[in-house]
Amino acid sequence: MKFYIHKEGRGSIAWAAALMLLLGALTFVLAFPWWMWLLWVASLLLFLAVVCFFRIPRRRYPSFEGNVLLAPADGQVVDIAEVDEPEYFKGVCTKISVFMSPANVHVNRYPMAGEVVYHRYHPGKYLVAWHEKSSLLNERCSVVLKSPAGREVLVRQIAGAVARRIVTYARVGEKVDRASELGFIKFGSRVDIFYPFQARIVARVGQKVKSGISVLAEME
């Protein structure tokens, strides 16, 4: 098997499987009316979609020479900009945003190695994930990493119009490896990274990236 199912998907997959089996049983009991066949096929497609959503491909994560910031999520780079970051840095930072469609792998990974020095969950709205205000108004979770060289990077998981649950495994004080698992966002969303230092941006808007593999920026 080239993928496995993430632990966050067990409940959702169980419900989808139960629905599929129930409709299948009703279809058999009711002598296979055509409209029940349609319902059963729809439930089968739903089950397959949920399994696909919670898949985690088995990947080899490369080692990198030098200090790099890796993509924290699979998806598409939708924004690279200089912005004011009011929560932690309270100043101008570079922001790189990665949007995840429902078809993307939704596990999130740390963009660099370091120590978790800040972790805060914020309830909020459910604007579409590409909305310019979603980073500040939507349900979100912010995690700040501090590298051994003293550089700090904020990773922000942002819920979207479909996503209704953000899972974060970060704990303040723990040491984490680059590309190790940060968390999971269910059913489509976005992850932003913010940093206040100089770095050569490698990523470009519109680029498709993979978490823990694609380089977003090279730190000086």
For the segment 7-61, what is each residue's pLDDT rounded down to a tens digit?
776 777 777 777 777 776 766 666 566 666 677 777 777 777 777 777 788 888 8
The model's confidence at residue 156, banded by pLDDT at 50, 70 and 90, is very high
Whether 158 contacts 146, CB under 8 Å: no
DSSP, collapsed to helix, strand or coil, labels residue 139 as: coil
State the CATH class of domain 68-219: mainly beta
Long-range Cβ pairs for the range 36-39 (8 Å, 24+): none
The residues, any chain, with a CB within 8 Å of residue 74's CB and separated by 6 or more, are 98, 100, 104, 105, 106, 209, 210, 211
| Residue-by-residue DSSP string for 88-113 | TT-EEEEEEEEEE-TTS--EEE-SS-
Catalytic residue, from 134, 142, 189, 214: name it.
189
C-alpha pair distances (Å), 105 with each of 20, 47, 67, 95? 23, 16, 25, 22
Residues 111 and 71: beta-carbon distance below 8 Å: yes
pLDDT confidence bin for 211, thresholds 50/70/90: very high
Residues 153 and 67 sit within 8 Å (Cβ to Cβ):
no
Could you state, in order of their start, the residue ranges of all structural domains in the chain? 3-57, 68-219
The pTM for the full model equals 0.80
In tens, the pLDDT along 60-98 reads 888 877 789 999 999 999 999 999 999 999 999 999 999
Told to judge if 12 belongs to the known catalytic residues of this protein, a careful annotator would answer: no
